Chains A and B, each alone.
Chain A
Amino acid sequence: MSTETHHQPTAKLYVKVAAWLAVITAVEVLLSYMTMPPVVLVISLLLASIVKFVVVVGYFMHLKFDAPKLRMPLLTGLLLALTIYAIVLINMIMHAKYSPS
């Protein structure tokens, strides 16, 4: 989102973007009911989720149109969040006897 009118997308574009997001969500749900190899299913669902994430951040949060500097805080947060997951996962694998599964 941005307050600068010269970069402001139109309401029509927002509606189009929302319609695409709804379509992707419907496809995701359909995929989850289909019979396919788990690897293919997981990769397809993750890709759909990433596309939705990027579209909302880019268009609705206006990061696509705003100053690139604004991307840094979010990217840093996402990178650190992934790092947390990786550290916890590695820790659990290395200490298998404490592993929850």
Chain B
Amino acid sequence: MSAVTEEAGHATSTGIPNTKMAMWTFLGSECLLFGALLSVYLLYRGNVPSGPTPYEVYDIPFTSVSSFVLLMSSLTMVLAHNAAVHKDIRRMRTWLIATALLGAVFLSGQVYEFTVFVKEGFTVTSSPAGSAFFILTSFHGAHVTIGVLMLLSIVGFSARGVDRVNKPEVVEYVGLYWHFVDIVWIVLFTLVYLIPGPEVGY
């Protein structure tokens, strides 16, 4: 028999708060979105009738630093949640701001990267590979942007004395979304940037 837990005054038959289960279900559905976009990229990455191939324009050292920044933002996010659990609101806000800043650094890197690619002739319309690459990475960037906005909203509401956002659950749910954005990038970084292109057989 399922455990019953109390959430916001009502019981859940799974023993898990409904909001948390809903967030995980949402993240599961996001796997489909990124799975579809990544499938398209992997299947079209060798389709470059004219212009540079993705592998000619990638700057691996630069993207590695961006990946490291996003990875570290997951650490600051989980530390924010840890602070919220221990009711250390000041520390929670500090870590949330740090996470938002790291997210913003990652986004700046992505904008810079896109600018360089476009200058080198690899654009969203230059080839099917270009379309697939820009759509995939832009969707990820849009998710990071939404994450940054959510983080800043929590900090803003918390600073204005809205106690509800200081609850560990709120930080946890936003954190789950943020970590998901990070794991998507972990997969993208390997499959899009690091694995050699079709010209070497892959």
Contact = CB atoms under 8 A, between A and B. Distances in A.
A12 to B, nearest CB: 10
A38 B180 CA distance: 29
A73 B183 contact: no
A67 B78 contact: no
A38 B183 contact: no
A85 B68 contact: no
- Residues of B contacting A: mostly: helix
B27 A74 contact: yes
Interface in B1-58: 14-16, 20-21, 24-25, 27-32, 34-36, 38-40, 42-44, 46-47
Contact of B71 (A10, A14, A22): A22
Interface string B175-190: 1100110110011011
B112 interface: no
- Residues of A contacting B: mostly: helix
A77 B28 contact: yes
A70 B82 contact: no
B138 interface: no
B82 A11 contact: yes
B31 A80 contact: yes
B168 A3 contact: yes
Q: Using C-beta atoms within 8 Å of the partner chain, give the interface range for chain A.
A: 35 or more
Given A1-B172, A82-B35, A88-B40, 5 more contacts: A1-B175, A29-B194, A77-B30, A81-B34, A100-B44
B82 to A, nearest CB: 5
Interface residues of B, number: 62
Contact of B20 (A15, A53, A70, A85): A70
Contacts of A82: 35
A15 B67 contact: no
Interface string A18-45: 1001100100110111000010011001
B72 interface: yes
Contacts of B186: 49, 52-53, 56
A32 to B, nearest CB: 4
Contacts of A84: 32, 35-36, 39
A74 B16 contact: no
